[in-house]
Structures are given as C-alpha cells and as structure tokens.
Amino acid sequence: MKAIWRFPERGALAALLILLCLYIAPHVSFAHAYPEHADPKVGSMVAVAPSVVRIWFDSALEPLFSTISVKNQSGEIVDKGDGRVDASDPTLLEASVPPLPSGTYRVIWDVVARDGHRTTGNFSFTIK
C-alpha cells in the first residue's frame, strides 16, 4: 500500500513566514537615524554666530544615548555642555553655544535611534 503524505500546514507555515517578512521589512529599512538638515547648514559660512546648533534626523532618537558637541579649530569644546534631544521633537538634537568669534567650528554627533542602532558623524560651519 502506498502512503500519501499531505502537509496542509506547509501552506499555513509559508503564509506565516510571508506575513512575518512583510512585518519586519519596514522596521529594517528604518534601522538607523540619519541627519536630514542642520542649522547652521552643513559646510555653510554664516555672518552671525548661532546661539544654538541643531540637527534634525529622519527618525526619533534615544535621548539618553544621543550626544552633540561643538569644537573650535583647536579641538576645544565650545558648546555649553547642554546637548540634548528636544523634548517636543524627538528627531531634533541640539546644543547651546556662547557668542562665538569668527572661525571654523566642527559639530560632532553620536546618536542612537529608538530601535537601538547607532550612527555618528560630523560637519563644519564657518563664522565670518
């Protein structure tokens, strides 16, 4: 006698795997937080020194694990040490700076997205 095995659960398992992939795919695409724009603009030359340096990211940041600092040409930190994720906008990282003299400044950021992925970067701007 010939045994015929049928596995109707294979179809259910395949459907479950497809649904799982569809659920995971959107989350994977937003695995890191990347800068969208900054103020002052990346690489810009500004006539007036900013009082706050801001970077907006494409996804929400973890406030406890996200930092920003502003350094002068000598590599000394010149921000007020109050770098933070904005309480009303979790995509905004900012730091206050005192009145800065003319020169080139580097903004260094290290952020963790809400999903736990870390990204880092830096950019400069110049005050005339």
18-61 confidence digits (pLDDT tens):
655 555 545 444 568 999 999 999 999 999 999 999 999 999 99
State the pLDDT at residue 32.
86
Q: In this model, does residue 63 exceed pLDDT 50?
A: yes
Instruction: Report the pLDDT value the prediction gives residue 9, as an integer from 0 to 100.
Output: 64
Read off the pLDDT of residues 64-104 as tens digits, 9 standing for 90 and up.
Answer: 999 999 999 999 999 999 999 999 999 999 999 999 999 99
- Taking domain 35-127, whether its CATH number is 2.60.40.1220 is answered by yes
pLDDT tier for residue 6 given thresholds of 50, 70 and 90: low
Question: What is the CA angle 51-41-108, rounded to 5?
Answer: 75
How far is Cα 103 from Cα 59, in angstroms, rounded to an integer?
31
**Domain chopping of the chain, boundaries:** 35-127
Confidence of residue 1 (pLDDT cuts 50, 70, 90): low
Residues 6+ apart with CB under 8 A from 57: 33, 34, 35, 36, 91, 92, 93, 111, 113
Q: How far apart are CA 74 and CA 54, in angstroms?
A: 22
